[in-house]
Each structure stands twice: as structure tokens, then as C-alpha cells.
């Protein structure tokens, strides 16, 4: 088949790789001038099954409501007239039960563990590199109270297949010498040894180059999707800024824009953009930086070591499709970074970025056929899109080929 993939982020590029590996003729349509220039351009750099806990929970309900009036939280909600946001919020609130939290987390964890293996298999099979480090990730807490209560979710993940070690501050610093200067600020944490880190932008660009050269995937960069040409129950072509592109099947992997396109054609796809901020800064003294990835659970800031660079990431802001940022948006991030790794970097040299994560109300991506007989979805991966992208691509390719996916599809296959 000739398959059109809409979007050359890490999700769409991974899908294109697996579909082309199955022998399909694949064309990727991307509005940016290169791969990974949108959502996949920057994130915390964490490939983190340890972060598989779904956002929607009884605790998140309280945080979500507080964010309506307290803009100092890591989660920020800017009230504005947006009927789509209110509809999304109602769906989110319906997921904020203990039963839904566990069900959604189970699905995310299975996909995240599977996807981590897929990322490593792609790297081994293609030889591509992306400043990867396979040393694990530390999730730590500053107070004894947050440490005691915060480990519950990780214990649940451990019961369902994630290896973890709950560590005190001495063991934590033994694992991560870079945190020695902040030892007294940390009560303890959770070490997930199978988690890893890497630059999603490098991965996506290198995989796109490999797919084009070795698998014949055609990338139409600088080409915007304007609509779908539909006849009966099939899509005949994708209408683009450079004209129609015909295909036998279409995959929507357009990040936060997926919902906008889907709604035009009656597809129930409640993807909403959640804005995140990152700063990437060269390490002035590499010995003072981290050796692995981590997350400050009290400050809601993640970080990773990417070669000789430090990546900091923070904030989940509901502000529509606004991608702008200003220096003050990064103040808390730099303050925390300096507390954790004093003397490691000069914030004046940082590359600042803000982008949108495509979030589903239940934190679970949507994969599978949607409404039309030859239309597929692979989108809605939210804050752990880098972690779940490759597993989603393999899962989608299995569905297109009529194979039974290697992981349990219940709850993951799109049924809208």
C-alpha cells in the first residue's frame, strides 16, 4: 500500500519507519522544513516508563482546580473562552477516579515498557545515536512527607512490571554523584534502572534520514495539510499546500493539531495542547552535572544529560495553541537547576524553547482505525510522547498488517 503519514515528529517518523519496514510505500507530509521541528524538538529527554502514572487522578483533580487561581504551580490553567478546553476538562475530570487512574496507568506502563525496547531495537538495527544514556532515572522528593506519600504510585508500577529501588539520600547520591551538593535538600527517591535518556530531536532526524535512504520513505517538508478528500468511507487524497497527495491509507500523527483536523471530519479525538518549557544549556563543568536523568517531584522539574548539555524541563500550561515564551517563564527552572547542580552551567548560554504536548483526557494515546476504512490515528501521547512513540509505531504497523500486536491492545486501540 501507499501510506501517507501526517507529521514528522517522533511519533509519525517512528510509524513511517515501521510501515516502510513492512514493505509499504510511505510518504510523510510535514509543514516544517525538517523532522522534529514541532513537539518533538525539545522535551525533558527522559525515556521513562517510571513516569507512566496517568495524570488524571483524585489528587490531580485538586491540583487542577487550584491551578485555576494559583499560577505558581507547575500546572497552570489560563481561563479563556475555549469551548473545546471546557469539553476536554469535563472528560479529564471523569477520569479522576482511583479506578480510572489504575486502568489508564496499566495501559501506559505496558506501552512505555514495550516502547523502550523498540527504541533500543531501532538504535541497534539502524546504528543511529541520539546522545543516549542507559543509566536509569531518579525520581526524588524534598520532604519526608512527599517522599512517604509519593512512592505509592511507584510501588504500584513495580507491582506491574517496573523494576525500582526506593532509596534514601545516601544511596541516591551514591547513584548520582552530581546531586551531592543538594543532598541535604532531598529526603529520598525512587531509582528506575531500566529508564534511560536521549535527545528525541536527534533520534527523529537520524531515523528520518535512515528511513529515507534505506527504506525509500519520501518526506514532503514545508508542506501543510489543508484537508482530506473523502469519497464514501474512504480517503482518496490529502489536500496540501502544494496540491493533493493520493494514497491507499492515511495516518494522523500531527501532535496537538490532530484534534483540529479530526474534528473537521467527525472524528471524536479529544487531543488538547499542553504547553511545556525547556532550557538546554552547555555544561561549564561536566563533573558538576548529572550522570543520568532525574525528576524533582516536588518542584515538577525534569532533567537529563545529553552529551555535554543539560536539559531542564518544566510546567504543564493550558493556554491553547500559544507557543510564545519569555525569560521569566524559565526562572523557577533555572533556580532549581542551580540548587541541584551548583556551578554546572551558565543560564545565560541556555537555548530556550516552549512547545505543545498533545494530551488526551485519560493520558492514553489513541492508535488504530478511525471512522473511515483507510484512516488511522497514532497521536495523543501527551507528556511522555518520546517514551511511547516507537512502541506506538510498531503497534500501528501491526494493526495495519493485520497482525496481533505484541502487547495487549485492550484499552489502547482507538474505538471512537
Q: Which of 124, 157, 118 is nearest to 14 (CA)?
A: 118
Specify whether the CB–CB gap between 31 and 223 falls below 8 A: yes
3 state DSSP class of 82? coil
Helices (H), 22-80: 58-66
Q: Using CA atoms, how far apart are residues 254 and 37, in angstroms rounded to an integer?
A: 12
Q: Using CA atoms, how far apart are residues 254 and 240, in angstroms rounded to an integer?
A: 14
3 state DSSP class of 165? strand
Angle (CA) 51 53 57, round 5°? 140
Question: What would the grid cell of residue 372 be?
Answer: 473511515
Could you say which DSSP state residue 73 is in? S
Strands 165-168 and 188-192: antiparallel
Strands 293-296 and 2-6: unpaired
Q: Using CA atoms, how far apart are residues 357 and 379, in angstroms rounded to an integer?
A: 10
**Binding site residues, as ranges?**
3-17
Strands 75-77 and 309-318: parallel
Specify whether the CB–CB gap between 17 and 393 falls below 8 A: yes
Beta bridge mates, 355: 276
Specify whether the CB–CB gap between 51 and 240 falls below 8 A: no
Question: What would the grid cell of residue 46 be?
Answer: 527522559
**Binding site residues for FAD, as ranges?**
3-17
Specify whether the CB–CB gap between 395 and 407 falls below 8 A: yes
Beta bridge mates, 275: 317, 356
Q: Using CA atoms, how far apart are residues 7 and 185, in angstroms rounded to an integer?
A: 42
Write the burial class of residue 23 (CB in 10 Å: 0-12 exposed, 13-18 middle, 19+ buried). Answer: exposed
Could you say which DSSP state residue 49 is in? G
Question: What would the grid cell of residue 29 be?
Answer: 507530509
Amino acid at each position: 500500500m501507499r501510506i501517507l503519514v501526517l507529521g514528522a515528529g517522533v511519533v509519525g517518523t517512528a510509524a513511517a519507519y515501521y510501515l516502510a519496514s513492512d514493505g509499504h510505500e510511505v510518504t510523510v507530509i510535514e509543514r516544517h522544513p525538517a523532522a522534529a521541528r514541532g513537539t518533538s524538538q525539545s522535551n525533558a529527554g527522559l525515556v521513562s516508563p517510571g513516569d507512566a502514572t496517568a495524570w488524571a487522578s483524585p489528587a490531580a483533580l485538586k491540583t487542577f482546580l487550584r491551578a485555576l487561581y494559583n499560577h505558581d504551580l507547575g500546572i497552570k490553567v489560563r481561563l479563556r473562552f475555549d469551548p473545546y478546553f471546557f469539553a476536554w476538562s469535563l472528560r479529564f475530570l471523569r477520569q479522576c477516579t482511583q479506578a480510572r487512574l489504575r486502568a489508564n496507568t496499566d495501559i501506559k506502563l505496558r506501552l512505555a515498557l514495550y516502547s523502550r525496547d523498540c527504541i533500543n531495537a531501532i538504535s541497534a538495527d539502524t546504528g543511529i545515536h541520539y546522545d543516549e544514556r542507559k543509566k536509569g532515572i531518579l525520581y526524588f522528593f524534598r520532604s519526608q512527607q512527599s517522599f512517604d506519600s509519593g512512592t505509592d504510585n511507584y510501588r504500584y508500577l513495580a507491582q506491574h512490571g517496573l523494576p525500582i529501588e526506593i532509596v534514601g539520600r545516601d544511596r541516591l547520591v551514591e547513584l548520582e554523584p552530581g546531586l551531592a551538593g543538594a543532598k541535604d535538600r532531598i529526603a529520598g527517591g525512587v531509582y528506575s534502572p531500566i529508564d534511560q535518556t536521549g535527545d528525541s530531536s536527534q533520534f527523529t532526524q537520524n531515523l528520518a534520514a535512515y528511513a529515507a535512504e534505506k527504506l525509500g520513505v519520501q518526506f514532503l517538508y514545508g508542506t501543510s495539510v489543508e484537508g482530506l478528500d473523502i469519497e464514501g468511507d474512504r480517503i482518496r487524497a490529502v489536500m496540501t499546500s502544494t496540491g493533493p497527495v493520493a494514497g491507499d491509507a492515511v495516518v494522523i500523527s500531527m501532535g496537538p493539531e490532530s484534534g483540529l483536523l479530526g474534528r473537521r471530519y467527525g472524528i471524536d479525538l479529544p487531543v488538547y495542547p499542553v504547553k511545556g518549557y525547556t532550557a538546554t544549556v552547555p555544561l561549564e563543568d561536566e563533573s558538576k552535572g548529572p550522570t543520568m536523568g532525574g525528576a524533582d517531584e516536588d518542584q515538577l522539574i525534569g532533567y537529563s544529560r545529553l552529551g555535554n548539555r543539560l536539559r531542564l524541563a518544566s510546567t504543564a500550561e493550558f493556554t491553547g495553541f500559544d507557543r510564545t515564551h519569555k525569560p521569566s517563564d524559565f526562572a523557577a527552572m533555572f533556580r532549581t537547576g542551580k540548587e541541584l547542580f551548583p556551578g554546572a552551567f551558565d543560564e545565560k548560554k541556555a537555548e530556550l524553547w516552549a512547545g505543545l504536548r498533545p494530551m488526551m483526557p485519560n493520558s492514553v494515546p489513541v492508535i488504530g482505525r478511525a471512522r473511515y476504512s483507510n484512516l488511522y490515528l497514532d497521536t495523543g501521547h501527551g507528556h511522555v510522547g518520546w517514551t511511547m512513540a516507537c512502541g506506538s509505531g510498531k503497534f500501528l504497523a501491526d494493526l495495519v498488517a493485520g497482525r496481533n500486536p505484541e502487547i495487549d491492545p485492550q484499552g489502547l486501540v482507538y474505538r471512537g
